[in-house]
Structure 1
């Protein structure tokens, strides 16, 4: 199991208003991924995962501090379980593959995602 990349989570009210500055900052024309999910809209651009919606829609997502892309979700679950991590959600099927949300010892909450081949290009 290895970490492929880490995405900083940004919570915004309007994705279309947030993207122009992020496009310029990252030098990318378009988000790598953009999709609706559980009442919010999600986009990845550069090292950011932007989650957009109303305050009410964003509330359940705000506890997650980061999204980490991995090559083996089951391996992550085993490793973190051995170190006292608590799975809060998952494994779940999501638009990009599978995910789990884990509270690490010490309290940080991280979403781990294993992309399927079709979602990564």
Structure 2
């Protein structure tokens, strides 16, 4: 799988098998703090799909927004 950052979005590319875990996700956004976004999104009615976890690039969380969109937020390690 390949990942490219374009502004505050991450674009994923790869085989169908590599991308399968991400097919439900409509967008991946780069954020300054997943903890702050989690609170803001939960307060706004979003549902946690995958809670904050450590990943090789930093931290991420996946949320289902009130409109049904599944969005992943990524915080890169500094």
Q: TM-score, structure 1 length as denominator?
A: 0.56
Q: Which has the larger radius of gyration?
A: 1
> Which blocks of at least 5 consecutive residues in structure 1 are unaligned?
1-40
1:74 match: secondary structure:
helix
Q: Deviations over 1:82-120 (max 9, x none)?
A: 111111112111121100000000101111111111xxx
1:7 alignment counterpart: none
Structure 1 residues 58 and 87, CA, compared in 2 at 3 Å: closer, same or farther? same
Choose which of 28, 40, 46 in structure 1 pairs with 2:6. 46
Root-mean-square deviation (CA, aligned residues, Å) is: 1.7
1:82 alignment counterpart: 43
Q: Would you say the 8 A contact 1:91–1:100 is kept in 2? A: yes
1:71 match: secondary structure:
coil
Structure 1 segment 1-121 matched on structure 2, within 5 A: 41-47=1-7, 49-117=10-78
Q: TM-score, structure 2 length as denominator?
A: 0.83
Structure 1 residues 91 and 45, CA, compared in 2 at 3 Å: closer, same or farther? closer
